[in-house]
Amino acid sequence: MLELIDVTKDYQAGRGGKRAVDAVTMHLGPGLLGLLGPNGAGKSSLMRMVATITRPTSGRILFEGVDVVAKPDRLRRALGYLPQDFGGYPNLTGPEFLGYLAAAKGMTGRSARARIGELLEAVNLTEAGKRPLGKYSGGMLRRVGIAQALLADPRVIVVDEPTAGLDPEERVRFRNLLAELAVDRVVLLSTHIVSDIESVASDIAVLVGGRLLRRATPEALLREVDGRVWEVTVDQVDVAAAQARWVVSRMVRTTAGVRLRVLASDPPARDAVAVPPDLEDAYLAIVSGTTTAAAVRP
């Protein structure tokens, strides 16, 4: 349904320019693709191009075989988009703001009111309906952003860091909602938070430095680091040296010392204990360049 072919985005072309996205190729059908990458990896630049906000410097983006640069309206009519920097009109209430956007999308008044009611309930904002957006917390505004992205029942949903500012309960609610929608829609979810992906995505892409380094199922990513994750306890004074020597995914202070979770091909110490890998280990191995090489499927 959605194809990215050698998509590249340069800013300020020339000696002082920056390549934000570097020849990314992906084919997307119904389902949820989790796009993982550290801050500055080029995720937002890629999402803006998919959402037809900006154009690629080179490469093509096709929706149902139609080039979205030459003919963007076909994708725009089918698109729900939540940008990372979403904001609303502070003097409008949530329903008024969503009603304004519904009118802009050509929805009738009756269908818009029904849909807005459903979405406010889905994002747990029904009780806040009479308050202006200027009185909303950051998390509440994010939930309004989620609602507007789903307003016209889109077939393609692009959400950039959607859970920023949400409390744990709301993050779970939204992840479950996206998982339901992804049954018959293309959902592209960009984040640097691994836990936002691991519970809902069966397809994961990792973007680092603008390049697509890996695309695979969670199970395949875990296999890449199987047998390479260890726990070892060190003295507090040795933590810095350990971090310089190994890739440390996390640490916990205990009465016996500092327990480190380490990525290494061989046991990092005689008393190191092998532990099952999780998705955060696999992601960190890719980002740090310590994972085994694997082909990137489109």
Q: Of 193, 147, 156, 167, which is closest to residue 43 (Cα–Cα)?
A: 193
Same domain, 277 and 201: no
**Structural domain that includes position 117:** 2-216
- Same domain as 233, residue 212: no
- 78 is a domain residue: yes
CA 226 remoteness from chain centre? 24
Q: Which of 201, 216, 231 is the last residue of a domain?
A: 216
Task: Look at residue 295 and tell me if it is in a domain.
Answer: no
Single residue among 168, 193, 216 that ends a domain in this structure: 216
Same domain? For 64 and 121 the reply is: yes
Judge if 205 and 245 occupy the same domain: no
- Residue 119, domain CATH: 3.40.50.300
Q: Do 231 and 250 share a structural domain?
A: yes
* Residues 256, 170 share a domain: no
Is 294 among the domain residues? no
Alpha helix (H) residue ranges in 8-162: 43-50, 73-78, 94-104, 109-122, 138-149
Q: What is the pLDDT along the chain (298 residues), one digit of tens a residue?
A: 899 999 999 987 656 678 999 999 999 999 999 999 998 899 999 999 999 999 999 999 999 999 999 999 999 999 999 998 888 899 999 999 999 999 988 888 888 999 999 999 988 888 887 899 999 988 888 889 989 999 988 999 999 988 877 888 888 888 888 888 898 999 999 988 888 888 888 899 999 999 999 999 999 999 999 999 999 999 999 999 999 989 998 999 999 899 999 999 999 889 999 999 999 999 999 998 876 545 455 6
Q: What is the per-residue pLDDT for 129?
A: 79
Does residue 197 fall inside a structural domain?
yes
29 burial via Cβ count (<10 Å: 0-12, 13-18, 19+): exposed
Whether 69 and 88 share a structural domain: yes
Whether 130 and 161 map to the same domain: the answer is yes
104 occurs within a structural domain: yes
- The pLDDT score that the predictor gives to residue 58 is 96
Cα 125-126-128 angle, rounded to 5 deg:
65
pLDDT for 24 equals 97
Residue 133 lies in a domain: yes
Q: Answer yes or no: do 257 and 110 share one domain.
A: no
Q: What pLDDT is stored for residue 298 in this prediction? A: 62
| pLDDT for position 130 | 83
Residue 296 belongs to a domain? no
Based on the domain organization, do 27 and 124 belong to the same domain? Answer: yes
Can you list the pairs that 176-184 forms with residues at least 24 positions away whose Cβ atoms lie under 8 Å?
176/200, 177/122, 177/146, 178/32, 179/32, 181/150, 181/157, 182/30, 182/31, 182/32, 183/30, 184/30
Res 16: pLDDT? 65
Does pTM top 0.85 for this prediction? yes
Q: Are residues 183 and 279 in the same domain?
A: no
Alpha-carbon dihedral sign for residues 166, 172, 175, 176 = negative
pLDDT at residue 292 in the model? 54
- Which of 216, 244, 274 is at the close of a domain? 216
Which pLDDT score, from 0 to 100, does residue 13 have?
Answer: 61
Domain count, the chain: 2
Same domain, residue pair 255 and 194: no
Give domain status of residue 293, yes or no.
no
